[in-house]
């Protein structure tokens, strides 16, 4: 069992912003976007490296499990 809650969808994040459009909330949502972009880059890198073999393959497989549990990265406009 994961210690984290299920990831929020883009739609849920947009609703949160509508309810609380403070500078602090905007900063938190930009941080969520930044971290999702890093996850998207890790996903792209993993997919480009070919077969998973040896110790590196085990590390990549563990990363893949985590990435597969994340929502797809969709670019969010700062004004949405």
| pLDDT tens profile 25-65 | 999 999 998 988 888 888 888 888 888 889 989 999 988 88
CA distance 53 to 73: 27
Longest C-alpha distance within the chain, in Å?
48
pLDDT, one tens digit per residue, over 19-32 is: 998 999 999 999 99
pLDDT classification of 72: cutoffs 50, 70, 90? low
Q: Are 52 and 60 a contacting pair, CB within 8 Å? A: yes
Distances (CA, A) of 73 to 9, 19, 37, 42, 70: 10, 22, 7, 11, 8
Q: Are 53 and 22 a contacting pair, CB within 8 Å? A: no
Higher per-residue pLDDT: 57 or 70? 57
Q: Exposed e or buried b for every residue in 3-24, given b needs 16+ CB within 10 A?
A: eeeeeeebeebeeebeeeeeee
38: tokens are: 């890093």
């Amino acid at each position: 069992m994961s210690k984290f809650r299920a990831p929020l969808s883009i739609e849920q994040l947009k609703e949160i912003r509508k309810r609380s459009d403070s500078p602090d909330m905007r900063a938190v949502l930009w941080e969520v976007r930044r971290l999702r972009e890093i996850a998207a880059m890790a996903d792209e890198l993993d997919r480009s490296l070919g077969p998973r073999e040896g110790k590196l393959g085990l590390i990549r497989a563990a990363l893949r499990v985590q990435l597969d549990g994340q929502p797809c990265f969709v670019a969010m406009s700062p004004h949405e």
